[in-house]
Structure 1
Amino acid sequence: MVNPVIADINLKEPQYYFNRELSWLEFNYRVLAESLDPRTPLLERLKFSAIFCSNLDEFFMVRVAGLKRQVAAHVTKLTPDGLTPAEQLSAISDRLRPWVQEQAYHFEHTLKNLLHAEGIHLLDYVDLDQEQRNHFHQYFEQQIFPVLTPLAVDPSHPFPYISNLSLNLAVVLRDPDTDQECFARVKVPSNLPRFLALPKELRQQDEKPSLWTGVPLEQVMAHNLEALFPGMLMQECHPFRVTRNADLEVEEDEADDLLLAIEQEIRKRRIGKSAVRLEIYASIPAHIKEKLIDDLGLAEIDVYEIEGLLGLKDLFYFMSIPRPDLKETPWTPVTPPVLENIKELVDGNEDNIIQLEGDEIFDLIRHNDILVHHPYHSFTASVQQFITQSAHDPHVLAIKMTLYRTSGDSPIIHSLIAAAENGKQVAVLVELKARFDEENNITWAKKLEQSGVHVVYGLVGLKTHTKIILVVRQEGNQIRRYVHIGTGNYNPKTAKLYTDLGLFSCRQELGEDLTDLFNFLTGYSRQKSYRKLLVAPVNMRDRMIAMILREAEHCRNSGSGRIVAKMNALVDPLVIEALYQASQAGVQIDLIVRGICCLRPGITDVSSNIRVISIIGRFLEHSRIFYFNNGGNEEIYIGSADWMTRNLTRRVEAVTPVEDPAIMKELQEILGIMLSDNRQAWELQTDGTYLQRRPSENGQEQSTQVILMEKAAKSARIE
């Protein structure tokens, strides 16, 4: 019998949902927390501070810009949490400001002091001695001055267009002849290093040897600007930084040539559209601040006053300093034990492939499904090797794959080109709308096309986000299909930084499903059902909700139900409502959500059986795993989709069931390790805040990523 209290609850009410944008800000604060945490190695703390800033740049360029467009269009539609666009902008401002100040204060008063103690001295220009100033004055004249362009602002010189994410100097001068105050803008060159180092002989600090000593570029400029304005009196100089709307706006159904349309939009993005944020020093005079606000078309809510350096994403620079003791211990991905003895193909050069002795990778996949887990397992020795062997295997007839993001020098691209040159049918779906990777993808799309590869640019109105490869091979009198279905991009570089899973299989039904899916992507197929795959926007949301509610039914019938799901984000209201219904039925639900989570856990009679954690560490958690107990007939899935409305309705996604018992056990073990994490895990509270787990007083630290690195290294040694 259903509890009458529960039956009366309207699960669509705003009180049961967190705001998407505010939840993202909470995620980014967890990133910043790694910089604040003294357990994090010092240079890694700078890196996390830089990531926090870089993330914010993209957030303003896309999410805040979108909200501002809605406000300008008088959109008042409420989000599931009950906020209008204007209310969201106000809430973002209120939530973010103290964190931006905390980051700036921590860098200026903690991290810089810790760097100083390690012989790394980031100084202010005013702290330099005369000899050091002379060096930078000479550097300014020789390296900086020739590339600067001062732009006057007066009735005959309108306020210049300030490009997106540019760092600038607002310069106030006085004409000694007329006693008139003048204003000019000087852009800090982005093609010069942000931090300028002194030569070794000038580095000495406090009579101790210095590994690095230097100052910010904009300070060298500010103290040498007289050369730009001869005959004028320098009065003030203040750095400022502008963020602009940088989201692409392409009307796909009206674009005759999608490639050309996106190229044109990319050119616009380099400049940026309307300004959405102004970052300034807190000490800037009110009249200069007001001038910048007015000329940029901003409001007070768009201004962030910072006590310290602007644009701390440039702190990535310090990761190049040769102090391995101040960084995480390097990790080298291991070859999955099952692939240790494959016949490896090594690129000698484009015309010379060296073949090493061993087993065929196809033989191993035919014998058993294979799971790879990056970056613990080598991407090069698994996925990349699979594509390379497919390109050069004489029995392979066709290769089809999706490319959402890949690296600029990707060996995968070279293998696909080689496959086409070897006479194989090669079809690649390149997603031109992969945000901030559009330009890179256009470059490779053109190169692939010129080499004879069939390139498809996706479907109108949908992003193709799925990560799939289909290889068709002639084996005697039969055709066999080999597949790779993954959670991450086919990118050798990010495969070392993101945690992702991939399944190799030659199960017939999966091969048939991928054939149907590629026909949907490249042709006019309107496939509505698949044998094994869950495919968005076709059947994935309905199937996921059905499996969630099936656990509720099991719980009502037998008193037992269990769901464990790992993803990047949980936003979709229909999925959240189904999870609430399952919780009300008594299903025990553990969610591992790295970023945005709009579900509110721990509400009596609604979500008291739901727990949510987020894991933040040296690798970006990116894999998606979905486990359902199903009354003891366990089911587990991996794939490319998060439980977000955009993934389930506006993207092409694929999630595959895992049916090999050993791999199912391995995935459950991974989930178990994450759920027991007390170092990198944060628990979502009912009020929307997160608390970081800590080991008990005498307890042992359990770090998910450390444990998985140790397990991978041990498995490689054992083999």
Structure 2
Amino acid sequence: MEGVYLNRELSWLAFNGRVLEEAEREDVPLCERLNFLAIYQRNLDEFFMVRVGSLVDQDMLSQSIRENKTHMTARAQIRAVLAQVRALDQRKTAVYQTLMECLGNEGVGLVDFRRLEREKREALETYFDTEIAVLLSPIIVGKRQPFPFLRGGEIYAVGVLAGKNGKEKLGIIPCGSGVFPRLIPVAARQYMLSEELILHFLPKVFKGYRVKAKSLLRMTRNADIDADALYDEDLDYREFMAELVKRRRRLAPVRLELSRQLEDGIVRLLCRYTGAEPQFVFGGGTPLDLSFLLRMQDALRQRPELFYERFVPQRPPQFQSGLPILEQIRERDRLLAYPYESMKPFLAMLQEAAGDERVISIKMTLYRMARQSKVVEALIEAAENGKEVFVLVELKARFDEENNIEWSRRLEDAGCQVMYGLDGYKVHSKLCLITRRGEEQVEYYTQIGTGNYNEKTARLYTDLSLMTADPEIGLNAAAVFQALALGETLEDSPVLMVAPRCLQNQVLARIDEEIAHARRGESAYIGLKLNSLTDKTIMERLIEASQAGVSIDMVVRGICCLRPGVPGATEHLRVISIVGRFLEHSRMYLFGTGERRQIYISSADFMTRNTLRRVEVAAPIRDADLKRRLTAMFDTMLRDNQQARQLRADGTYCLVQNQGPPFNSQEFFCRQAQEAAVAPVLEITGGAGHKMG
């Protein structure tokens, strides 16, 4: 249906605009605004590396290919993307200047060398001469010195140099050696960026030349490599992926950022040397890398009012300390909600299984892991204790390949059976299966999550983790691992939804059930909590459901390619996006009302890459209390009128406005977890308590 879809890339940029909006908001603590600004830039860097890089590749292959929703060609999408990025960057520059003024009011800031008093200028010059200049590797581009390769994401000082003979040359200095600090202290809580100091003293480096113009430069390179298309079966896959990571660093540029304005001829020359196209050149109104803002926060740690109130993941009340975790799971299903509740019970389950003589095997899929992973340490301990440990480590987890390669080596060295994924499919599921000898039969303990087995992100991302001893779920999970071990995917999955063959079709079947109820005049409902919605097949069925009168609520943090409120198409569909202190990452699917409601938690967004090109798992929530809890959580997010933005039919977002009092769902979940964690103690001492439902 024409006019009901939004372009994926522009929808993502709108999401990053919502991140930038958090940096603009005066009701957000100052240091958290700095954090959001740095996240905005980091997000945009990755967007250019992956999505813009992909569009450039598409445009080179064919100028007639159109995406299937708004029918835009790759070239049209690139033009629209670049225009929107330039508009967003104007906002970025404005908010950066505002935040630096606010930091200045707190006595923290960056200095301008030219405005410093003489003693400080002399001290900085001495520092440059003794600590920095000796470590620099300047290059003058000429016949005997070709233009150097510029690493993606690094900062370079570039000077237009005039020699004694009047001829112009380019001088280039890499500024990111890592040996000297980027933030150079000038006075108490006053700093200068090292690249700005290098740029200032360019004439001292290029002696004998007059510096006619200068700027800092930063390159973003395409990182979109199709590993499966390039893989040679005669190669060791892990070594192939390590080589692929190296190759990515040399891919074509998709953005060239300059800190100062240079003459058009110089810009064209830089484009010719680097291979960048002029349309991808951006002039910066801010430092080219904003990660230093996170370091500047450290100077204000003694001011807690400038940060969000500190929150520590709480002890989950559904687990009783001192009792075996596996026995508690066998009693009834348990659910953890990160980061409000601690990941410790899951880690304790793995550690307990590693040392339990009755545990036969542990099987897991690993996608992104912490640098110091307690999960991997538990698996290594289990293998060293003689248990069968099967681990599928997905080496194609973009930008985490090197970390995953290293962990895969350690797991293998410990005696674990390690796989590196499937041909043609990325394994993105969050699945763990512990098999144990019971008194009468084999017991299965299954964990299905919405987020990675990563202790760091479990404190920053909202995710759900189901732990169950349900034998049907265990047998289905065992079938998933058996298929993976054989390099295959499941053709049929009776309990779990398992992509690529048994998820999209099951979701469509659940939507069809709601359509049937609505057409009979019965109550019908669909609730979806996702990171992204781009799967056109599912969206077409959601349109049909809305047309039939099914009430549809969606909490979609990022990309949403479906317009709500379009007459005759999506009138019964509502979409909100929540952007707050925690990254909304959990996925929930709710179908039906009352007693017939079905709820699933999943690793899969409704994107074609998830539903048809990855191994993903969605698990049904069968415990009545847990279903009520998840329903309450979803309804709570729908009440948010502080961090939630509503998607309008014209494709724009606005802050949610309703008749209720100010309500922040993430703050509510923090308070709820804190109250639930102390409730048992309060009951023992006679105080009042509130248990989480």
- Say yes or no: TM over 0.5: yes
Instruction: For 1:502 and 1:133, locate their aligned partners in 2 and report how far apart those are by CA, in whole Å.
Output: 56
Report how far residue 695 of structure 1 moved: 6.5
Match for residue 183 of structure 2 among 189, 193, 196: 196
SS at match of 2:546: helix
Check if 1:332 corresponds to 2:312.
yes
The answer for unaligned runs of 5 or more in structure 1 is: 1-10, 204-211, 342-357
SS at match of 1:339: coil
Instruction: For 2:355 and 2:462, locate their aligned partners in 1 and report how far apart those are by CA, in whole Å.
Output: 29
Structure 1 match to 2:679: 718
SS at match of 1:312: coil
Kindly indicate whether the alpha-carbon contact (under 8 Å) linking 1:536 and 1:652 is maintained by their aligned counterparts in 2: yes
In the TM superposition, 1:136-285 aligns within 5 A as 136-176=124-164, 178-192=165-179, 195-198=182-185, 202-203=187-188, 212-250=189-227, 251=229, 254-256=232-234, 257-269=236-248, 271-281=249-259, 283-285=261-263
Aligned amino acid, residue 713 of structure 1: Q
Worse overlay, 366-375 or 142-151: 142-151
Aligned amino acid, residue 17 of structure 2: Y
**CA root-mean-square deviation:** 1.6
Instruction: Tell me: CA distance 1:389–1:628, structure 2 relative to 1, closer, same or farther (3 Å).
Output: same
Report how far residue 641 of structure 1 moved: 0.5
Structure 2 match to 1:375: 339
Report how far residue 494 of structure 1 moved: 0.6
Instruction: For 1:255 and 1:139, locate their aligned partners in 2 and report how far apart those are by CA, in whole Å.
Output: 53
Instruction: For 2:179 and 2:257, locate their aligned partners in 1 and report how far apart those are by CA, in whole Å.
Output: 21
Deviations 1:276-320 (A, max 9, x none): 111113532323222212222232321112223222244222233
Match for residue 707 of structure 1 among 639, 655, 668: 668
Kindly indicate whether the alpha-carbon contact (under 8 Å) linking 1:36 and 1:45 is maintained by their aligned counterparts in 2: yes
SS at match of 2:520: helix
Instruction: For 2:582 and 2:431, locate their aligned partners in 1 and report how far apart those are by CA, in whole Å.
Output: 22
Kindly indicate whether the alpha-carbon contact (under 8 Å) linking 1:679 and 1:695 is maintained by their aligned counterparts in 2: no
Structure 1 match to 2:276: 298
Worse overlay, 179-188 or 603-612: 179-188
Report how far residue 412 of structure 1 moved: 1.1
Instruction: For 2:247 and 2:409, locate their aligned partners in 1 and report how far apart those are by CA, in whole Å.
Output: 21
Check if 1:628 corresponds to 2:615.
no
Instruction: Tell me: CA distance 1:524–1:121, structure 2 relative to 1, closer, same or farther (3 Å).
Output: closer
The answer for unaligned runs of 5 or more in structure 2 is: 681-693
SS at match of 2:661: coil
Kindly indicate whether the alpha-carbon contact (under 8 Å) linking 1:239 and 1:281 is maintained by their aligned counterparts in 2: yes
Structure 1 match to 2:120: 132
Structure 1 match to 2:290: 312
Instruction: For 1:490 and 1:422, locate their aligned partners in 2 and report how far apart those are by CA, in whole Å.
Output: 22
Q: Identity of aligned pairs, percent?
A: 38
Instruction: For 1:158 and 1:132, locate their aligned partners in 2 and report how far apart those are by CA, in whole Å.
Output: 37
Structure 2 match to 1:386: 349
Instruction: For 1:259 and 1:335, locate their aligned partners in 2 and report how far apart those are by CA, in whole Å.
Output: 38
In the TM superposition, 1:14-25 aligns within 5 A as 15-25=3-13
Instruction: For 1:633 and 1:657, locate their aligned partners in 2 and report how far apart those are by CA, in whole Å.
Output: 13
Report how far residue 228 of structure 1 moved: 1.9
Instruction: For 2:271 and 2:184, locate their aligned partners in 1 and report how far apart those are by CA, in whole Å.
Output: 34
SS at match of 1:603: coil
Check if 1:531 corresponds to 2:494.
yes
Match for residue 613 of structure 2 among 650, 653, 663: 650
Match for residue 30 of structure 1 among 18, 23, 34: 18
Instruction: For 2:396 and 2:483, locate their aligned partners in 1 and report how far apart those are by CA, in whole Å.
Output: 18
Instruction: For 2:220 and 2:138, locate their aligned partners in 1 and report how far apart those are by CA, in whole Å.
Output: 20
In the TM superposition, 1:410-429 aligns within 5 A as 410-429=373-392
Kindly indicate whether the alpha-carbon contact (under 8 Å) linking 1:170 and 1:238 is maintained by their aligned counterparts in 2: yes
Structure 1 match to 2:77: 88
Aligned amino acid, residue 375 of structure 1: P
Match for residue 575 of structure 1 among 521, 524, 538: 538
In the TM superposition, 1:498-537 aligns within 5 A as 498-523=461-486, 527-537=490-500
Instruction: Tell me: CA distance 1:27–1:194, structure 2 relative to 1, closer, same or farther (3 Å).
Output: farther
Instruction: For 1:243 and 1:124, locate their aligned partners in 2 and report how far apart those are by CA, in whole Å.
Output: 27
Aligned amino acid, residue 576 of structure 1: M
Aligned amino acid, residue 180 of structure 1: K
In the TM superposition, 1:392-407 aligns within 5 A as 392-407=355-370
In the TM superposition, 1:304-703 aligns within 5 A as 304-321=282-299, 322=301, 323-341=303-321, 358-379=322-343, 381-523=344-486, 527-629=490-592, 632-694=595-657, 700-703=661-664
Report how far residue 567 of structure 1 moved: 0.6
| Aligned length, in residue pairs | 675
Instruction: For 1:489 and 1:554, locate their aligned partners in 2 and report how far apart those are by CA, in whole Å.
Output: 36
Report how far residue 437 of structure 1 moved: 0.3
Instruction: For 1:340 and 1:197, locate their aligned partners in 2 and report how far apart those are by CA, in whole Å.
Output: 50
Kindly indicate whether the alpha-carbon contact (under 8 Å) linking 1:640 and 1:654 is maintained by their aligned counterparts in 2: yes
Report how far residue 600 of structure 1 moved: 1.0
Query: Normalising to structure 1: TM-score of the pair?
Result: 0.92
Report how far residue 138 of structure 1 moved: 2.1
Kindly indicate whether the alpha-carbon contact (under 8 Å) linking 1:467 and 1:486 is maintained by their aligned counterparts in 2: yes
Instruction: For 1:420 and 1:550, locate their aligned partners in 2 and report how far apart those are by CA, in whole Å.
Output: 45
Instruction: Tell me: CA distance 1:186–1:526, structure 2 relative to 1, closer, same or farther (3 Å).
Output: closer
Report how far residue 190 of structure 1 moved: 4.7
Query: Normalising to structure 2: TM-score of the pair?
Result: 0.95
Report how far residue 684 of structure 1 moved: 0.4
Report how far residue 226 of structure 1 moved: 3.1
Kindly indicate whether the alpha-carbon contact (under 8 Å) linking 1:104 and 1:309 is maintained by their aligned counterparts in 2: no
Aligned amino acid, residue 166 of structure 2: D
